[in-house]
């Protein structure tokens, strides 16, 4: 008994059943197979833009200072964490303020597996091919344990529960000196040696000298691409639809056969994996950090990434990460020019940090009220305006 038996006429709409997978020549938007329509890059414009973007990204380190290259690396890393948060909060609708904890957990897991050990610190000194996946797996397992609790509450209660994670995490990180180095000391991050290749060395490629910052930039970009693609695949298939269903109408979702508990648990687990990997990579860029760095402010930065970038979009998370990482830098450059902004917290009318916090706060409010889809939504509006031009109203 399949629904196929009830079919009457065949559709001749935009989707035409056919063998060929390519677009019909001269009509690039006519899709001749479901696979072509379901593809991520389903229009020539998207393909062209993506290609241009990838080329630009690959060329960038050759033009940027080492310092700015690292900043761009941070964009990729925050984008990974942002995508993770967007999966659980944007797609599955489960607010999480606890992502700073999972990032910290990832960072320390990496440090344990990949860092150098001594009398005071635990460190196994393993390859990045081991510590990077572990930095995802361990937070994912903790996420898996926490998820059943989190799946029972919603809204404000969930926010508070996940906030609790950050406080518990901070406390544990402070006390576990043999793992984290303790307050004010910290520990060196895991060593970025990938398949025996030392990513801290300079390399000569095609006559160019690649700085260690540039090398790590490329590595992080590759990891980011893989994880962004995986997330994109997830949200366009069965689990992603289940996320959205649970977010929009949980009763109806259950009546479709979607298990609420399983779906929420999956969202938490995967998103913790993303956060863990991001945390591990972030400390490699920043260097030694104290255990108190994984605090509420980091969680809020991550929320800013998805709220400013765009809820429930993968590309929005990337835009948001770029915004959140690059704006403070821009503001501090401005501080040299604008008199009342100072770079040190004590002097001047406004410090950079204060200005940045205010700016993010104001933007989050503005976007929530005016364009809940964030920067991504703005982009869609601009695109639709030009598509409809000269009939844009």
199 vs 230 by CB, closer to another protein: 230
Q: Does 347 bind another protein (CB under 8 A)?
A: no
Least Å distance, CB 230 to another protein, is: 4
Binding of another protein by 344 (CB under 8 A): no
**How far apart are CB 238 and another protein at their closest, in Å?**
5
Identify which of residues 212 and 236 has a Cβ nearer to another protein in the complex: 236
- Residues of span 204-233 touching another protein by CB under 8 A: 230, 233
For the chain, give the longest Cα–Cα distance. 77
Q: How far is the CB of 8 from another protein (least distance, A)?
A: 7
Contact flag: residue 47 with another protein (CB under 8 A): no
Phi-psi region of 207 (alpha: psi -120 to 50; beta: other; left: phi over 0): left
27 contributes a contact to another protein by CB under 8 A: no
Point out which residues pair with 197 in neighbouring strands.
Answer: 194
What is the dihedral angle through the alpha carbons of 170, 280, 320, 46, rounded to the nearest 10 degrees?
-160
Count of residues near another protein by CB under 8 A? 44
Q: Site residues for another protein, window 118-157 (CB under 8 A)?
A: none
- H helices of the chain, where? 34-38, 44-59, 66-85, 99-114, 128-150, 155-175, 177-180, 212-235, 238-248, 250-255, 260-286, 296-309, 314-335, 352-370, 374-388
**Would you count residue 50 as binding another protein (CB under 8 A)?**
no
Cβ neighbours of 17 (radius 10 Å):
10
How many residues does the structure list for the chain?
Answer: 393
Count CA atoms within 13 Å of residue 202 on its CB side: 7
Residue 217, phi then psi, degrees to nearest 5: -55, -50
Binding region for another protein (CB under 8 A) out of 2-10, 138-146, 170-178, 361-369:
2-10
Bridge partner list, 350: 341
Given the complex with another protein, which of 235 and 325 has the nearer CB atom? 235
Binding to another protein by residue 19, rule CB under 8 A? no
Q: Answer yes or no whether residue 20 interacts with another protein by CB under 8 A.
A: no
Reduce the DSSP state of residue 319 to 3 states and report it. helix
Q: Is 55 in the site for another protein (CB under 8 A)?
A: no
Binder among 143, 239, 279, 316 for another protein (CB under 8 A): 239
Under 8 Å between Cβ of 329 and 71: yes
With respect to another protein, which residue has the nearer C-beta, 182 or 316? 316
- Cis amide bond preceding 390, omega within 30: yes
Residues 189-208 touching another protein, rule: CB under 8 A, are: none
Q: Which is nearer to another protein, 150 or 242 (CB)?
A: 242
The residue with tokens 């060593």 is 191
What is the Cα–Cα distance from 146 to 152, expressed in whole angstroms? 11
Interface segment toward another protein; rule CB under 8 A; list 32-40, 145-153, 213-221, 294-302: 32-40
Measured from the CB atom, the residue of 35 and 362 that comes closer to another protein is: 35
Please give the residues from 242 up to 271 whose contact with another protein meets the rule CB under 8 A. 242, 244-245, 248-249, 251-260, 266, 270
Can you give the binding site for another protein, defined by CB under 8 A? 1-11, 13-15, 33-35, 38, 230, 233-234, 236-242, 244-245, 248-249, 251-260, 266, 270
């Amino acid at each position: 008994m399949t629904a196929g038996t009830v079919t009457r006429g065949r559709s001749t709409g935009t989707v035409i059943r056919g063998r060929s997978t390519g677009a019909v020549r001269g009509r690039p938007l006519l899709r001749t197979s479901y696979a072509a329509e379901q593809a991520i890059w389903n229009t020539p414009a998207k393909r062209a833009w993506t290609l241009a973007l990838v080329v630009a990204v690959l060329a960038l380190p050759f033009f940027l200072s080492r310092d700015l290259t690292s900043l761009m690396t941070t964009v990729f890393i925050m984008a990974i964490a942002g995508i993770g948060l967007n999966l659980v909060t944007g797609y599955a609708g489960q607010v999480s303020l606890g992502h700073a904890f999972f990032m910290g957990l990832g960072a320390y897991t990496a440090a344990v597996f990949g860092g150098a050990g001594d009398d005071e610190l635990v460190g196994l000194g393993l390859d990045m091919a081991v510590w990077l996946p572990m930095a995802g797996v361990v937070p994912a397992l903790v996420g898996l344990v926490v998820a059943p609790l989190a799946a029972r509450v919603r809204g404000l209660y969930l926010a508070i529960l996940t906030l609790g994670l950050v406080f518990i995490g901070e406390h544990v990180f402070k006390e576990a000196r043999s793992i984290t180095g303790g307050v004010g000391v910290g520990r060196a991050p895991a060593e970025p040696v990938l398949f025996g290749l030392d990513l801290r060395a300079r390399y000569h490629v095609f006559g160019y000298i690649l700085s260690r910052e540039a090398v790590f930039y490329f590595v992080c970009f590759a990891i980011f691409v893989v994880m962004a693609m995986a997330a994109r695949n997830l949200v366009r298939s069965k689990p992603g639809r289940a996320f959205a269903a649970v977010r929009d109408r949980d009763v109806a979702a259950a009546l479709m056969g979607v298990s609420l508990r399983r779906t929420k648990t999956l969202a938490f687990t995967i998103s913790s994996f993303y956060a863990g990997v991001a945390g591990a990579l972030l400390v490699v860029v920043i260097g030694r950090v104290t255990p108190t760095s994984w605090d509420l402010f980091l969680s809020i930065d991550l929320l800013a990434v998805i709220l400013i970038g765009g809820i429930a979009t993968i590309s929005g998370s990337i835009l948001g990460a770029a915004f959140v990482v690059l704006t403070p830098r821009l503001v501090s450059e401005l501080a040299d020019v604008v008199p009342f902004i100072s770079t040190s917290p004590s002097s001047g009318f406004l410090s950079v940090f204060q200005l940045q916090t205010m700016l993010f706060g104001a933007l989050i409010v503005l976007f929530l009220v005016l364009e809940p889809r964030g920067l991504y939504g703005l982009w869609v509006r601009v695109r639709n305006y030009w598509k409809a031009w000269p009939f844009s109203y």
